[in-house]
Amino acid sequence: MMTTDWLQWIFFLTVLLAASWPLGLYMARVYQGRPCGLDVLAGPLERLLYRLSGVDAGREMDWKTYSLALMGVNLVGLLAVYAMELLQGVLPLNPLHLPGVDPLVALNTAISFATNTNWQAYSGEATMSILTQMLALAVQNFLSAATGMAVAAALIRGLARRETTHLGNFWQDLTRSVLYVLLPLSLVLSLALIWQGVPQTFDAAVEARLLDQSGQATPSPAPDGQAAAPTVGRQSLVLGPVASQVAIKQLGTNGGGYYNANSAHPFENPTPLTNLLEMLAILLIPAAFCHTFGVMVGDRRQGLAVLAAMFILFAGFSYMTLAAESVPNPALAGVGVEAAPSLEGKEVRFGTAGSALWAAATTAASNGSVNAMHDSFMPLGGLYPMLLMQLGEVVFGGVGSGLYGMLVFAMVAVFVAGLMVGRTPEYCGKKIEPFETKMAALVILIPPFLCLMGTALAAVIGPADAVSNPGPHGFSQMLYGFSSMGNNNGSAFAGLTATSPFWTLAGGVAMFVSRYWLIIPVLALAGSLAGKKRLLQGPGTLPTHGPIFVSLLIIVVLVVGALTFVPALALGPVAEHLALFRAN
């Protein structure tokens, strides 16, 4: 790697760690109901929302009531998005007169945005109206992100409290996540993006004059029912309220792009500065949640241990992705070509380092936005981001979901350690007994099952023309697709066509199950832990805040997550990588 690549990598990691600490302390005050600085502005609005909705924010819930409230509001949001997509042709704020979305694609999209996956089997600027983008998709970005944050807060309370059934109030956690965390951060980031040139307007489109006037005519937008008028030497550029959607898609680890090219589009990510800000936004809240966890359980060392495990894993995988994309294609050496690192599929304004670092961040954080086409990466350059998803989206992961996923792995780690020394495992003073172990097993095993089973079905009964490249690379496209949907990430190898009934329906099932079949066991786990006594540490207790436990946690994540996918990875990216040298 070049020196500038090293410096960019180190600078990004340093700023991320520095920014996560104050935000994590602030979020702890938010979820503990303590003064946090925004009470004067957000407090009256919060109380007004409770009065209008009839919510008693002071009434705490057990895990079953918490789960029912969560599932209810998410189901309503899913149905609302689905209805708006189907009816957008007759709804306002549709200046391009786009018709209603295909029912299967609309269902897939509604599930995708409800589950914080944001898998997109459509071209955003050519399919969704301004109203759908703004009122359906962007609002759902806030709701799905706040849902994950609420579940993380409930699990933390389960570890912090003793001999109670109460995990907090879902409506309060959801509302405070939006009003005190997501909305203020989104406002600040939106203003920064607008400053850098990201559009924020209700205008439909603008026409740009091409430098090359000899090109083929491109159609301009026309009223509904009329033929589009071709204009020679001009291009129609779709506009809209882009900055506001980009901000929450990154901060909420949603990832759904306003445009088909996502964050590779110059209207979503125009400059190297926006590239840095958006990458930081992707990982900021997941990293901050580790500090929030430490404060709320009364031992900041516990949060630092979890953060250390996440950071080490991310630093290693991001470095390997950078290294894989910093070398020339070995197949070119056989034909006597002196090649440089490939920029095919990458934006020149970001370069190899900016593209590879983003790929690692977006797959580690359950975000799914892309500023380069992962389909164009070197085989190993595509393998490492794919593996980051297959670990269970716990290396920072989604907002809230990354933390509760890693805490489940931490409980498995102390269970393994307990087997070694013959003691009942403990975590944060709570015994990890058979019920907790079963819930943890469900959380860890469901995503790999969905990924591998979905890939097998795609290879056997899926449409053959869905992949653009036969052989190992085509298998990688299918494996990456179900790894993304089965872990609520949303990114894809660009060569996969996922609009067929098989992909829309199978993908929808994978996204729905991987989100809610994990949330319910996590809340059940939180309820069980909250009812336990808090034990004092004894001579046989494994400290869960030191380097030994951090190392054990990393090993458990890698063994349970990575080894599950070794055979599938060998058929895809590994085989493709070896084929490059065989061609040489």
Please say whether the beta carbons of 295 and 28 come within 8 A: yes
Please report the beta strands in 14-133, taking only residues with DSSP state E, as ranges in sequence order: none
Structure tokens belonging to residue 345: 């599929």
Question: How do residues 107-166 score in pLDDT, each as one tens digit?
Answer: 999 999 999 999 998 888 999 999 999 999 999 999 999 999 999 999 999 999 999 999
Please report the beta strands in 479-537, taking only residues with DSSP state E, as ranges in sequence order: none
Round to whole Å and give the CA distance between 425 and 64: 26
Q: Is residue 345 part of a domain?
A: yes
Q: Report pLDDT for 335.
A: 64
Q: Report pLDDT for 79.
A: 96
277 DSSP assignment = H
Name the pTM for this structure.
0.93
Q: Is residue 223 part of a domain?
A: no
Q: Specify the number of domains making up the chain.
A: 1
Q: Is residue 301 part of a domain?
A: yes
Q: Tokens 């090109």 belong to which residue? A: 215
Q: Is residue 233 part of a domain?
A: no
Integer CA distances (angstroms), 358 to 116, 381, 402, in order: 19, 12, 18
500 burial level (CB within 10 Å; 0-12, 13-18, 19+):
middle
Helix or strand or coil: residue 99?
A: coil
| ∠ Cα 181 184 190 (to 5°) | 125
Round to whole Å and give the CA distance between 441 and 435: 10
Helix ranges (H only) for 234-376 are: 242-251, 272-296, 300-325, 351-364
Round to whole Å and give the CA distance between 365 and 393: 6
Q: Domain of 365?
A: 3-205+239-583
Supply φ then ψ for residue 67, to 5 degrees.
-65, -45
Helix or strand or coil: residue 220?
A: coil
Round to whole Å and give the CA distance between 95 and 101: 16
Q: Report pLDDT for 205.
A: 87
Round to whole Å and give the CA distance between 321 and 380: 7
Q: Report pLDDT for 225.
A: 47
31 burial level (CB within 10 Å; 0-12, 13-18, 19+):
buried
Q: Is residue 17 part of a domain?
A: yes
Q: Give the Cβ contact number of residue 104 at 10 Å.
A: 16
Helix or strand or coil: residue 488?
A: coil
Q: Give the Cβ contact number of residue 100 at 10 Å.
A: 16
Q: Is residue 86 part of a domain?
A: yes
Output 430-436 pairs: Cβ under 8 A, ≥24 positions apart: 430/159, 430/529, 430/532, 430/534, 430/535, 431/532, 431/535, 435/528, 436/411, 436/525, 436/528, 436/529
DSSP 369-428: --SB-GGGS-HHHHHHHHHHHHTTSTTTTSTTHHHHHHHHHHHHHHHHHHHHHTS--EET
Q: Is residue 222 part of a domain?
A: no
220 burial level (CB within 10 Å; 0-12, 13-18, 19+):
middle
Q: Report pLDDT for 2.
A: 76
Please say whether the beta carbons of 552 and 411 come within 8 A: no
DSSP 320-338: HHHHHHTS--GGGGGGT--
Helix or strand or coil: residue 141?
A: helix
Q: Report pLDDT for 584.
A: 55
Q: How many residues does the chain have?
A: 584
200 DSSP assignment = B
Structure tokens belonging to residue 300: 């900041």
Round to whole Å and give the CA distance between 45 and 34: 17
Q: Which residues contact 39 (CB under 8 A, 6 or more apart)?
A: none
Supply φ then ψ for residue 257, to 5 degrees.
-85, 150
> Which residues of the chain are under the pLDDT cut of 70?
1, 213-232, 333-339, 422, 539-540, 582-584
Radius of gyration of the chain (CA): 24
Round to whole Å and give the CA distance between 109 and 501: 13
Q: Report pLDDT for 229.
A: 52
Q: Is residue 218 part of a domain?
A: no
